[in-house]
Structure 1
Amino acid sequence: MHIRPITPERLVTELTDRLTERADHVAEARLRVGVDGPSAARPEDLAAALIDPLRARGRPALHVRTTDFLRPASVRLEQGRTNPDAYYEGWVDEAGLRREVLDPAGPGGSGRVLPSLWDATTDRASRAAYVDLPAGGVVLVSGPLLLGGALDFDVTVHLALSPSALRRRTEPEQRWTLPAFDRYADEVDPASFADVVVRVDDPRHPAVVEPSASA
């Protein structure tokens, strides 16, 4: 395994290159990209940073956050507000995310994507309008605990933090989620299979994890 330091700006450029090239091979469909990482890694910031460069390359792009696809509070918080197992197993409405985003953006899909399903602040449907994502477009879904489950992505990006960095950078009010990320690392190990793995212990100095060259 090789660790290659990279600037945040260069990371965005390289990911834009990679996604644009991959989108060329799904010209009749859309590219579904999962940007996975704990809140401390700010996956939504990376996904948002890719939108304008992709559009500049002629690729319609849409960013969807899993925080806009949470289950209603009555379901999400049934086992308590700070239950790490419930957070790990069922806070996100994965069925809704598949139905409204990933399936329409996938092969044979209509391209009619709903960018937001649920407003967790009001605990009501967001009533967002559908967006038509043309063929060859890119939808970036950002959030924690995205990989290794039932969500279909064409490209996966995992933002990795060491255990100490994760604990250091997680806000005090969110530290109850840490056992969920320990479980995710043990049971799923997203860094072992994601298409792109980026270490972000220090967000100012990310590093791309690359497989070692074959002997």
Structure 2
Amino acid sequence: MRSLKNLDIEKSIESKKLVYEESWSDKFDAVGRYFIFSILIFYSFLVFKEIKPSPNNSLDYFVLSSLLTFCLYSSYCKFTEKNLKEIKFYIHKEEAKRRILEYGKKYKYRISKISSNLIFFNEPINGFSGWGEEKTTVIFFQDQSIFYTVIQNGRKTNAPVLISQHFIRKDFKKILNQKKFDLNPKKSYFDRFFNDPIN
């Protein structure tokens, strides 16, 4: 789990952004990622200019467009990873906390930092959990809403979370707004992309 030294719960909720003492390695990691993405975006635009429009170049356009989209989206995710997303609910705060905790236990998250207003859900990024690579969902509780974000901690770099933040939002919204609390089996990413009904 990434170190969130001196995390200020009240200021984080008030500003809707994680407020903590960021280490120099975290700052260096973020600057390094922005630098790499900037170079890739810059050279993608340069190559776009050199490609002459023709049916034979459609694959080149597709590859460059995909690379450019990935770099822009990854930069956005990295830039906003400390921003807290809000989900409102109309049940009692303790009931909301109970539901969130049951969700975490059922799906085998390593739950830590349990307090009246804060919970961490941790899960390994890959099967080699001994490497210390984890994805952490930070959840703050208020009377009628939760604030959360998802961050990653890796051995070498703290990559932005690209997809799972959207799935966790959908799960939280569902369980916090159910009249009758019921946990369904957790689906794989493939199932969520192709078999989930659109709400």
TM-score, length basis structure 1: 0.26
Whose radius of gyration is greater, 1 or 2? 2
Give the structure with the larger strand fraction: 1
Give the structure with the larger helix fraction: 2
TM-score, length basis structure 2: 0.28
Q: Which has the higher contact order (CA 8 A, sep 6+)?
A: 1
